[in-house]
Chain A
Amino acid sequence: LAKTTQPISMDSYEGQEVNITCSHNNIATNDYITWYQQFPSQGPRFIIQGYKTKVTNEVASLFIPADRKSSTLSLPRVSLSDTAVYYCLVGGQAGTALIFGKGTTLSVSS
């Protein structure tokens, strides 16, 4: 059963790059890694998904090492509006549950 571990919280300032790492030692061969963002009183919102190496979109980058036991979400030049909870999600094949981690609360200050 794939379980994730993330830092509980992180602080940053506007304009900085933020890297949030998620550990998932028991990730299964066919599992993807997905990151979501959640603002207060809203449902989670998809940010990025990857299987291996590096994925980049207009919002973020996702780095996955060869052993896939961890992944790093990279947010370039954060702004105040990036203050949110970020979840790392893995798992789902063969009847295992989709497990959201506890999430990382990112606080961006000016």
Chain B
Amino acid sequence: DARVTQTPRHKVTEMGQEVTMRCQPILGHNTVFWYRQTMMQGLELLAYFRNRAPLDDSGMPKDRFSAEMPDATLATLKIQPSEPRDSAVYFCASGLASGTLSSYEQYFGPGTRLTVT
């Protein structure tokens, strides 16, 4: 049963610390999405990659967030320095390109719950 994995599942850190979240997309999927979910804002798209190349990161605070795909099996989302307002659940999803972006069937990971104190 193929699925997206994310690590860590939970992370508590102090303000100012660096946080790195990792995602392993489903083997064979060529598109990876990063989302953030909070009670106030709901699900927000932060960035997405196709064939490891960043296509859109307009939803991401550029000064402190960065997203990369070192290889096809690993996507990372880094926050440096972290702030309390970054506290949220961060989801990674993967999919297989089939036309316009919204025709993807996205498979979501279990998320990383980040708490910044």
Contacts and interface: CB of A to CB of B under 8 A. Distances in A.
Interface of A: 30-34, 36, 41-46, 49, 51, 87, 89-93, 95, 97-103
Given A44-B91, A45-B108, 6 more contacts: A41-B111, A43-B109, A43-B110, A90-B102, A98-B45, A100-B44
B75 to A, nearest CB: 14
Contacts of A98: 33, 45, 48, 101-102
B32 interface: no
B43 interface: yes
Interface of B: 4, 33, 35, 42-45, 48, 56, 58-59, 91, 93, 99-111
Nearest to B48: A98
A69 B56 CA distance: 26
B91 A92 contact: no
A47 B102 CA distance: 14
B93 A95 contact: no
A4 to B, nearest CB: 11
A57 to B, nearest CB: 11
Contacts of A92: 100-104
Contacts of A42: 108, 110-111
A32 B56 contact: no
A51 B108 CA distance: 22
A61 B102 CA distance: 18
